[in-house]
Amino acid sequence: MSRRHAREAALLTLFQLEFGANGVPADGASELALDEVEGITEKDLPYAHALVQGTHAHLEEIDAEIARLAKEWKLHRMAAVDRNLIRMAYYEMRYQDERIDPPVAINEAVELAKKYGSDDARRYVNGILAAMQKSL
């Protein structure tokens, strides 16, 4: 199993659910994301689905923490990729049953920010998640 592939699929699914897949259930959005993630396997799917469901289930608490720490940026003004990366990584660090070590979760989010975000996304995602790590 590749958690990196699972995280990538989960990020794309969260993005689609927020913006592009109105009315599409999470499984349908996941299917769309799976077509985009090179190298993903069936073994990666349970982790991807758990990330999407868990992040979505704790969205209100996660967004409140982001808003508290990202004082210069309103949540709705953040780039959607950055916002969903931060949400997903914080879920892994704070709420997931098998919590991910914060430096690992942050590094994985930064790597995905390099791939899907703007030039400044990796620094922004790293900064917000580092601040969130301190509140754990």
Residues 6+ apart with CB under 8 A from 76: none
Q: What is the mean pLDDT of the chain?
A: 88
pLDDT of residue 54: 95
Whether 86 and 127 have beta carbons less than 8 Å apart is answered as no
Task: Give 16-69 pLDDT, tens digit per residue.
Answer: 888 765 555 565 556 666 778 888 888 888 899 899 999 999 999 999 999 998
Please state the rounded mean pLDDT for residues 118-127.
92
Q: Top-level CATH class of 58-136?
A: mainly alpha
Checking if the pLDDT of 83 tops 60, the result is yes
Q: What is the domain partition of the chain in residue ranges?
A: 1-44, 58-136
